[in-house]
Structure 1
Amino acid sequence: MDHKKIAEDLIPLLGGEDNIISGSHCATRLRLVIDDESKIDKGAVEELEGVKGAFSSSGQFQIIFGTGTVNKVFSHFAPLAGLGSGEKEDSGTHKEAANKKMNPIARFARTLSNIFVPIIPAIVASGMLMGLLGLMSTYNWVDEDTALFIMLDMFSSAAFIILPILIGFSAAKEFGATPYLGAVIGGIMTHPELLNPWGLSDAQPETMDFFGLGVEMLGYQGTVIPVLLAIYVMAKIEKVLRRIVPNVVDLLLTPFLTVILTGFFTLLFIGPLGRILGDAITGALGFLYETAGPVAGLIFGGLYSTIVLTGVHHSFHAIEAELLTQIGGNYLLPIWAMANVAQGGATLAVFFKTKNKKTKEVAVPAAVSAFLGVTEPAIFGVNLKHRRPFIGAAIGGALGGAYVVFTQVMANGIGLTGLPMFAIAQDPINYGIGFIVALIGAIIATLLLGWDDEPNK
């Protein structure tokens, strides 16, 4: 593969160098902010060697090359497009340029994603430890009074107990505030003086009088929404102080006043309000889950991939984390997993039946990627491109979603779907059955619906 030639051919198909505002790449995709996307020859882009699909999402035009290829193409593409050469850096960073192209809802969802994605490894590790402890307890591998079990139990709960500190650091970074001040606010919300509600359903905290205002001495361990609101306010306070405090005393006064003001606002108003909002969200979802049951799984499993197209799914991490800490399990993630598996199933169906060499080349790695939880290559490279396979995947996702809700499958974490979710599934057997239901359902539905196959070029 001639990576330089691919980069050279790509520039005119994107409308020329002047049409490219900024660009970067992730592990699999070239991410570009384009001035006028109507100038892009999308069909020609997808026919380039090495391209597995192209789509617009989150204010960016994204081209799927795959791991190991995208970085080689970008190394030639960047200088040809004028990226990093100075003339395009005046418009701001790539992230800022992408945000300007996004609508407010997509921008909000992306912000939540940027906050929670860095935290996912910690939550996944804790979830896997919880699964291991569950096996130990169920099959009596280790006595629960032993030091080994007690220490592993400490390891598994630590991330959730200090979750406000982790979120505080990450959220402050995303909101443009000092990350360590965000961690301090998270520390205040989990201070030992406050009663730790983690695992105490009948906790009765004391109430402290603060100039006539009652302050409930209940901590925020394992909460999500209160700390998000607190750090958002903290960022606003810090930015105002940075503007009005003289530079000579900025290092001393700004952090001091930021912590004091945010701390008071948090314990008096923001924290209690955030707790009410969090309880309301989990309560509403719980009511829907318990009353609608498999119907809810059918609807959410069928619609999830369509939601992915809008980018709004990035906001689900916050809701899932709230569920995980409030009820001890995440019943949304297995539903999302069924939708992702179904995308892989529909892609496999296309691979088996299509006679187009380019489609076959893209379909297998796209399906494998979907089974590992990354669905963009399957959705945009194969299924949505041929339309009816995307509908077939929605049918498979709906069937799988209905099954995992019917059997009440939950996860011990967030972020992992497909095959990796077996590591954090509370009921791996029924999750596996749901996996098969979604996979087979999507394959059969796609083959029955059919699609217009493209001739080889």
Structure 2
Amino acid sequence: MASKYDALAKIIINNVGGKSNVISVTHCITRLRFKLKDERKANTDLLKGTDGIVTVMQSGGQYQVVIGNHVPDVYEVVTKLGGFSSETNDESEHKKMSPGAAFIDTISGIFQPALGVLAATGMIKGFLALFVFFKILSPASGVYQILYSVADGFFHYMPIFLGFTAAKKFKVNQFTGMALGASLMYINDVTAMASGEAISTMFAGTQFASNVYATFFGLPITIPMAGYASSVVPIVLAVYMASKVEKFFKNIIPDVVKTFLVPMFTLMVCAPLTFLIVGPIASILTSAIGIVTSSAYAFSPIIAGVFLGAIWQILVIFGLHWGVVPLAFLNFGSLGYDYILALVFTASFAQTAVVMAIALKTKDEKLRSLSIPAIISGFFGVTEPAIYGITLPRKKPFWISCIAAAIGGGIIGLTGLKTFMLGGLGVFGFPSYINPATNEIGGMIGAITAVVIAMAIGFVLTMITYKEDVKSESNSALTNDIMKENVVISPLSGSVMALSDIEDAAFSTGALGNGVAILPSEGKLVSPVDGEIVTLFKTKHAIGIKSDSGIEILIHVGMDTVKLDGKHFNALVNQGDRVKKGDVLLEFDIDAIKAEGYSMLTPVVVTNSDHYADLAFEVGKNIVMNEALMVLI
């Protein structure tokens, strides 16, 4: 069954370099995230100009096509039509990345698949706290208990779920990854180690303290004081280790018994190493990161809020915010709350307020029509349409939104607001400021206050400073003239065909530029634009024209007709001549050329098509000279 996104998906696949250029593709809330073999093969300008695509970003080793809220639907069609997997097919590609890009790619690959459910369960937890505060539900009720079990259960058993996503990222048997996560939770929740007396305590009196409950062949098995519930670093490191161990056993175990012996030996080796080495190292690393971030926050929560609030939208643009997200997970696991993501909560609202001001002040109906859906998305925490479509191209509004977000972040830092769960985006994030232990809503009221102040600052500053771009107004007035300049009329009468129908690879692959092919029915060629004859081959079989608006066009009459050395061709212009649309440039004898054994299929190519967002044309139809052939955008 055809999807309404089929056409868009085909354009995306073709212009990221085709199926063969795609290593893998995933998606987040608004973006398709491709890993390409060669990003130079992607037609970025054309993708940016395609309806349904907000913009394109190249960052963190990924080629990111920003779609908007309906990206899951587009992703489904793209993967179906392209036959793509979200898993990387070539490990060497990861090695080509810089360490920073590789880190971002790894973090996003592990956490991204779980983020939607994490936000959903966090929202349930937040709303339950709200219902208890307003006495709609009692914590003792069955309704509360069932909903809380899913709200808290997902985060509590996080190591199992991250075992799955990390295994997928590191190319390990995914059930092996889940088994390692389950072992962490089993020791944490079920065995005597979870309730028994500790034999001793390592690093007692420090933030690195861990209890020793048993030994493994004389080696101490340590459990961090907070346990492994909701932890993230131990399982990620454990699965990474498993990826190396599993690979080793795959190489030495016979195929006939690989199915069960590879996971068996992998688990037998990795489970002890996880508890003896990986777990303790991960706990120390987690504590060290916690000490650094908490110390920086304690030094000046206001400065931290201003700084993170100011740069958050810039990080989002390049997909670098994934480098910050794990810190919040560490805080949730060790502290039960987070102050890092709280500091950037006002950013999406500040961006939305700026767009609201632009929508009220602009006289450009098209800009206003773009603003309305961007405002709606912004209130739900999705700001890419606002950033890429409205504020970033106009620069000053974007910086105003960053200033407003910085002030909002400073206010949250000043008041010491914290989130107690990973809640939803935008307005759905407010309940995450309710402390579920006390069901007090003071934090939520504080978050609302900070958001209102940030929005007010962004709105007022934009209303005061925003001026309609004179160029934009001029563009509206001159749209018809510009369109006329960007219309290429047909230089020939005949049948319009695709460039791919030409046997010459230089034309069929688009190496010389985008365009069409025409099978002429009349031996006359006219100028498709107003401009100058910049090239006229001595053999008269090909002409290059540059229009007054800068369009560079090559018309090559027939295939291999250079071998005729000018026979059957009559040029009516010279190189350097000025011409108008419709002026006859060349005459040729179709029958004579065909009798010589040459194809008359004629490419009409825009050789600088990479300077344009898109070329609109229609193939499979008959056309007459002087009729519109292509429109350049």
Equivalent residue, structure 2, for 1:60: 63
1:243 to 2:251 alignment: yes
Residues 315-371 of structure 1: per-residue CA shift (max 9 Å, x gap): 333221111121111222222221122122222222223333443232221222122
Counterpart position of 1:445:
461
Aligned partners of 1:372 and 1:419 also within 8 Å? yes
The residue identity in structure 1 corresponding to 2:107 is: L
Contact 1:324 1:330 in 2 (8 A): yes
Quote the offset at 1:401 in angstroms.
0.8
- Corresponding residue for 2:234? 226
CA gap of 1:153–1:362, structure 2 versus 1, over 3 A, is: closer
Where does residue 183 of structure 2 map in the other structure? 188
CA gap 1:64/1:182 in 2 versus in 1, 3 angstroms: closer
CA–CA distance in 1 between the matches of 2:86 and 2:114?
Answer: 23
Are residue 173 (structure 1) and residue 168 (structure 2) matched? Answer: yes
Please point out which of 253, 261, 269 is paired with 1:253: 261
Instruction: Give the corresponding residue for 1:209.
Output: 215
Is the aligned partner of 1:288 residue 2:291?
A: no
Is 1:434 equivalent to 2:450 in the alignment? yes
Distance 1:5 1:240, change over 3 A: closer
CA contact (8 A) 1:110 1:311 kept: no
Distance 1:148 1:310, change over 3 A: closer
Give the equivalent residue in structure 2 for 1:274.
Answer: 282
* CA distance in 2: counterparts of 1:142 and 1:45, whole angstroms: 49
- Structure 1 residues 29 and 362: CA distance shift in structure 2, 3 A: farther
Shift in Å at residue 273 of structure 1? 0.6
Give the Cα separation in 1 of the matches to 2:21 and 2:334.
Answer: 43
Q: Residues 365 and 69 of structure 1: is their aligned pair in 2 closer, same or farther, counting only changes over 3 Å?
A: farther
- Report the secondary structure of 2:247's partner residue: helix
Which deviates the most, 165-174 or 344-353? 344-353
Q: Is the 8 A contact 2:127 2:431 kept in 1?
A: no
Q: How does 1:410-421 map to 2 (within 5 A)?
A: 410-414=418-422, 416-421=424-429
Rg larger for: 2
SS in 2 for 1:373: coil
- Per-residue deviation, residues 82-134 of structure 1 (Å, max 9, x unmatched): x638xxx8xx8786589668644233223222322333344335434543564
TM-score by length of 1: 0.81
Aligned mates of 2:7, 2:282 — CA distance in 1: 50
More strand by share: 2
Alignment partners' CA distance in 1, 2:9 and 2:181: 49
Match of 1:36 in 2: 40
Gap regions ≥5 residues in structure 1: none
Question: One-letter code of the match for 1:163?
Answer: M
Quote the offset at 1:261 in angstroms: 0.8
Look up the match of 2:375.
Answer: 367
SS in 1 for 2:220: strand
What amino acid sits opposite 2:451 in the alignment?
F
Instruction: Provide Cα deviations, 1:200-240, integer angstroms capped at 9, x if missing partner.
Output: xx998444233442222554122111111111111221122
CA change 1:386–1:330 in 2 (3 A) is same
Q: Is the 8 A contact 1:296 1:402 kept in 2?
A: yes
CA–CA separation in structure 1 for the residues paired with 2:410 and 2:449: 12
Describe the superposition over 1:409-428 as per-residue Cα deviations: whole angstroms up to 9, x where unpaired: 22232262311102322222
Q: 1:415 to 1:240 in 2, by over 3 A?
A: farther
Structure 1 counterpart of 2:497:
none
Q: Work out whether 1:351 is the aligned partner of 2:355.
A: no
Cα 1:104–1:349 change in 2 (3 A) is farther
* Change in 2 beyond 3 A, CA 1:326/1:65: closer
Counterpart of 1:113?
A: 108
**In structure 2, what is the Cα distance between the partners aligned to 1:78 and 1:146?**
44
Partner of 1:409: 417
> For residues 74 and 139 of structure 2, what CA distance do their matches in structure 1 show?
49
TM-aligned CA deviation for residue 8 of structure 1: 12
Q: Is contact 1:29–1:63 with CA below 8 Å preserved after alignment? A: yes
CA 1:8–1:64 in 2, change beyond 3 Å: closer, same or farther?
Answer: closer
Distance 1:142 1:428 in 2: 19
Q: In the aligned structure 1, how far is the partner of 2:278 from the partner of 2:223? A: 14
Shift of 1:159: 2.6
Q: What is the CA–CA distance in structure 2 between the aligned matches of 1:260 and 1:315, rounded to whole Å?
A: 33
1:392 aligned residue (400, 406, 409): 400
CA distance in 1, matches of 2:168, 2:87: 16
Distance 1:359 1:111, change over 3 A: farther
User: What is the rounded CA distance, in whole Å, between the counterparts of 1:400 and 1:362 in structure 2?
Assistant: 26
Q: Where does residue 158 of structure 2 map in the other structure?
A: 163
Q: TM-score, length-normalised on structure 2?
A: 0.60
Q: Distance in 1 between matches of 2:138 and 2:423?
A: 31
After superposition, the Cα gap between the structure-2 partners of 1:8 and 1:221, relative to the gap in structure 1 and judged at 3 Å, is: closer
- Contact map agreement 2:234 2:283 (CA 8 A) in 1: yes
Q: Secondary structure at the match of 1:209?
A: strand
Judging changes above 3 Å, is the alpha-carbon distance between structure 1 residues 124 and 196 closer, same or farther for their aligned structure 2 residues?
farther
- The AA in structure 2 aligned to 1:366 is A
Structure 1 vs Structure 2 CA RMSD = 4.0
Contact 1:28 1:70 in 2 (8 A): no
Q: Give the share of equivalent positions with the same residue, in percent.
A: 26
Q: For the residues of structure 2 that align with 1:37 and 1:351, how far apart are their CA atoms?
A: 37
1:20-35 aligned at under 5 Å gives the runs 21-22=21-22, 33=36, 35=39
Contact in 1 for aligned 2:57/2:318 (Cα 8 Å): no
Instruction: Assess, with a 3 A threshold, how the Cα gap between structure 1 residues 120 and 318 changes in structure 2: closer, same or farther.
Output: same
Shift of residue 136, structure 1, vs aligned partner: 6.4
Contact kept? 1:185, 1:231, Cα under 8 Å:
yes
In the TM superposition, what is the alpha-carbon distance from 1:304 to its structure 2 partner? 0.8
**Hey, what's the Cα distance between the residues in 2 that align with 1:368 and 1:246?**
58
Unaligned 5+ segments in structure 2 are 196-204, 435-442, 480-633
Instruction: Number of aligned residue pairs: give it.
Output: 439
Distance 1:120 1:313, change over 3 A: same
Task: Output one character per residue of 1:167-187: Cα deviation in whole Å (capped at 9) or x when no partner.
Answer: 112211221111111111111
Q: Which of the pair has the greater relative contact order for Cα pairs under 8 Å at 6+ separation?
A: 1
Provide the C-alpha distance between the structure 2 equivalents of 1:169 and 1:9, rounded to a whole number of angstroms. 31
